[in-house]
Structure formats: structure tokens, C-alpha cells
Structure 1
Amino acid sequence: MSEKEIVIRSIKDLLTPKMLKYSIVPFVLSLVVLYIVFFIIASMGVEQLGTLSVESSQTTLQSGVPHTESFNATIVGSSIIKFLMHYAITSWLVTFFIYAIGTFLAIYFSIFLAVIIIGFLTPFVLAELQRRSYSDIAMIGHSNLLYSLFLLLKSTLIMVLLFILLIPFYFIPFLNIIALNLPMYYFFHKMLIFDISSSICTKEEAKEIAYFKASSLRTKTALLYLISLIPFAIFFVAIFFVIYLGHTYFLATRELRER
């Protein structure tokens, strides 16, 4: 089956009533979690910006005698923001950093959250896919809940470590785009491929597919990752990702078992 045919079939499968129902789950759950997280972070931010203490001292000589004058002030509540926003330069900088960092974190967190949520839905989506198109292929699988949680924790730690190690590249134009996205792409690719392969294949089949189709799989997950960078798009197309890669793995598994 050509790549074009896989994409067309994946879109048709996504538009079936059952798959559309599955598509609603990541969207609703993510909204609930993001809503809770937003208010937690907002509350923490207000507390941090609530009070700012300013201290300064100046020593002068008067008739040869040193005199030290100290100044203490406390900026309370929204006065800090008002102070910063009072000047054009600081106003622009504050606005830029709030939007840039906020957008960056929101997109990354949405991808991270959606990947975890669809991990729980993957077996159900693939079972429906098998019923519709691959009844001749048994879904053997090779994982369990404990190992899945271990891999999730391991992949998350590696992602965080990559974020830290790549800090020097964040300040280099063009390279910073790759450096900022590489850790999240690693997590995205690792978890999606694992969730799908561990539901369909044996461990040996998964290793063989990962070896012989490595370039194809990376290209596909890279394209899917680019789509997920559109703000909150992943909440609407997450199930499509599973369907699309599910077709890829079902076809590859059929090819292996027919040898």
C-alpha cells in the first residue's frame, strides 16, 4: 500500500463514529488538566509577584566623617507589573517574554499531556482498526503496565536531561530551533512508537520493524510532530496519529508474518 493510500485510509477511519468518539477524549481530558494547571500556576505567579523588597545604601563624607544612608522599600501587589509596564522598553520586554515563554510552555505541555492520554487509548483504537481492516493479524503485544510506566518515566527523564544539555545551543540562531524541539520530539517519537508496536507486535517483530523501517518511521513521526506544534492541534488529531502509525505497523507486521 502506498503512503498516499495509507493517509487516505487513515482519514476515512478517523471520520468513523467510533473513532470520532475516541478523538473527543484527549480534547476533554486535556482541557480539564490545563484548566487546573493554569490556575495553579497563576496563583503561584501572583504570590511570587505579590511582594518585592528593595534595599539600597549610600555612603557620603560630611566634614570628613562618613555617613551611610539606607533605603528600604516594599513593592506590593500589582505595583511591580505597573512599574515595569510604565516604561516602553520594559513594557515591551515583559509582554514579549510572557507571550513567548507562555506559548512555548503551553505547546510543549500540551504535546506531553496528549501523548500520555492517547497512550491509554491506543489499544482500543488499534483494536477497532484491526476489526475493520486487519482481522488476519493477531495483536500479540509484548508489554505490561509496569514496564509502560517505567518507559514513560525513563523517556521523561531523558527528555529533561536533553533540555539541560542543549542549553548552550538555545542562544545560537537556527540551531536553537532544533535544540528546543529535539528533546520533545524524542519523547513524542519514543512513546508513540512504543504504544503502537507494543500493542500489535511481539518484541522481536517490533525490533525488526524498528531496524528495517527506522528512516520511514522517523520521517513519519517528524511530520506528525510538526503538525503537533500548531497550538493545541494535537488535541484534535492525536487519534489520527495513532491510526496512521497503526496502519504502518499492521502492514509491516503482516509483511513479516507472511515470510
Structure 2
Amino acid sequence: MNEETSILTRSIRDLFTKKMLAYSIMPFVISMIILYILFFIVAGMGMDQFTTMDIQSTQTTIQNGIPHTESFQETLAGTGIMKFLMSSALTSWIASFFIYTIGGLFVLYISIFVALLVIGFLTHNILKEIQQRHYQNVEMIGYSNAAESIFLTLKWIAVMLILFLVFVPLYFIPLVNIIAFNFPLYYFFHKMMTYDVSSAICTKEEAKKISFFHGSTLRLKTLGLYLLSMIPFVVFFASVFYVIYLGHSYFIETKKLRNEES
């Protein structure tokens, strides 16, 4: 059994311990509360924007050689807008497509974003449990502080939003748009996960060395975890597994570095 298979197997076993299962429930409950609040905020903003809609139509007919022009004007409010959009097959299909597609993507992306923020508060406790079970000889030194964590999180959010804007022209190219949609959020996912785990275990120098020598491996691991997050609602329950899995990787590499230095 190679090292990677061993890490994966150990991570799955750790996930199904009583304490880790309890931790898994917390991101789900907290994220659901946050998403529930966000839903009503966004819904309220949407209703404010689409409270009324002015509909104008002009139709010209010829009767006995004489043209007659009829104008139609109506202001739709509230649910009347949706009734108007659903009044024909074409507008009904377009409206349904945008509502379900954009709404579904928004919920999926925001759920990953929220879960990452929530799991950040549990990372140290999860890693402490992993250390007690498997790595008691590896001290959790850590290098993070509240100010740095907030600054880096805001920085990565800003970069993510900039990437979303820069990639707008690519959103209209089939297949390429899949990568363009997901790369900004994966960037944030990778940065947050590796920082939360490494900053709780390593010194800053050790984290830099691990990133330099094992950066490609870490990116492959976080990419696999991100793709797993694309399954709806999985991220709420699997976020604890992400920390466990990456935690094992960092504990092992940190142990190797410290053995080499001693």
C-alpha cells in the first residue's frame, strides 16, 4: 500500500469516529442558517428590482383598406411578472432555464464558499484530534493570527472576484466556460484549505518548503476535493474530511522535514 492510499484510508477511518462525525454536523447546520438568511436577503433585493414591469405592444391591422393601429400598455407587478413570462412556451422555457441554471450554480458556489469559511473555525480542533490519534510526536507550532487570516481571506476573495470578471468573455465558449466558471472558486478553495491546515501545523518556513517541493501534489489533492464539492450539498458534510485528508499530508511532510533537520 503506497503512502497516498494509506493517507486516504486513514482519513476515511478518522472521519467515521464519533467526534469527527459531530464536527461534520456543525458546518452543515451553520451553513444552512447562513444560506437561509442570504436567500431572503437576495430574494428581497430581487423583488425590489422587479416589483413592476411595463409592457407595451403595438399592433396594426388593415380593414377595408384602412389601417388600424392598436396600442397595448400594462404595468405588471409582483407575481404578474412571472405570469407574463410563463404565458408562452418560449418565454416560459427561457425563464425556467435561467432561474434553475443560474440559481442552481449560485447556490452551489455560495455553499462551497460558506462551507470554507465555516470549517476554518473548526480546523484547529480537527487537526488537534488527528495529532492525538496519529502524530503525538509532531508538535503543532502554527504561524497564523487573526489579523493575517482576515487579510489573506479578503485578499483571496478580491482575487477570486477579479478572476470572475476577467474570464467573462470565456463564459460564452462551450467547454472552456466550465473551466472559466470554476477556476476562480477553485483558486479560493485551494488557498483557504492549504492555509488553514498548514498554518495550524507548520512554521511559516516549513509551509513554504512543503509548498515548494510538493505544490503540484497539493494542487492535485485540492482539485480532487473541489470536484467532490461540486456534488450538491456534499461540501457541507465532507468539509471535515477535507481537513483530515490534508492534515495527514501536512503532518507527514512536517515530520519528514523536522527529522531531516534534527
Q: TM-score range by the shorter chain?
A: over 0.9
Structure-1 residue corresponding to 2:217: 216
- Partners of 2:72 and 2:196 in 1: CA distance: 60
TM-score (norm 2): 0.91
After the TM superposition, which residues 1-259 of structure 1 pair with which residues of structure 2 at under 5 Å, given as runs?
A: 2-54=3-55, 73-259=74-260
SS at match of 2:190: helix
- Identical-residue share of aligned pairs (%): 55
- Partners of 1:84 and 1:35 in 2: CA distance: 26
CA apart distance, 1:76 = 1.8
Structure-2 residue corresponding to 1:63: none
Q: Which whole-Å deviations, capped at 9, do the CAs of 1:35-94 have from their partners, x for residues lacking one?
A: 111122222223332211346799xxxxxxxxxx98753212211111110100110010
SS at match of 2:122: helix
Structure-1 residue corresponding to 2:62: none
Q: How many residues align?
A: 250
Runs of at least 4 residues of structure 1 off by over 3 A? 54-58, 69-73
Matched residue type, 1:237: A
- Partners of 1:118 and 1:82 in 2: CA distance: 42
Give structure 1 stretches of 5+ with no counterpart.
Answer: 59-68
SS at match of 1:124: helix
- Partners of 2:168 and 2:235 in 1: CA distance: 26
TM-score (norm 1): 0.92
Deviates more, 1:141-150 or 1:38-47: 38-47
C-alpha contact 1:49 1:78 (8 A) present in aligned 2: no
SS at match of 2:76: strand
Please tell me the root mean square deviation across aligned C-alpha atoms, in Å. 1.7
CA apart distance, 1:11 = 0.6
Q: Which whole-Å deviations, capped at 9, do the CAs of 1:177-200 have from their partners, x for residues lacking one?
A: 100000000000000000000000
SS at match of 1:75: strand
- Partners of 2:199 and 2:40 in 1: CA distance: 36
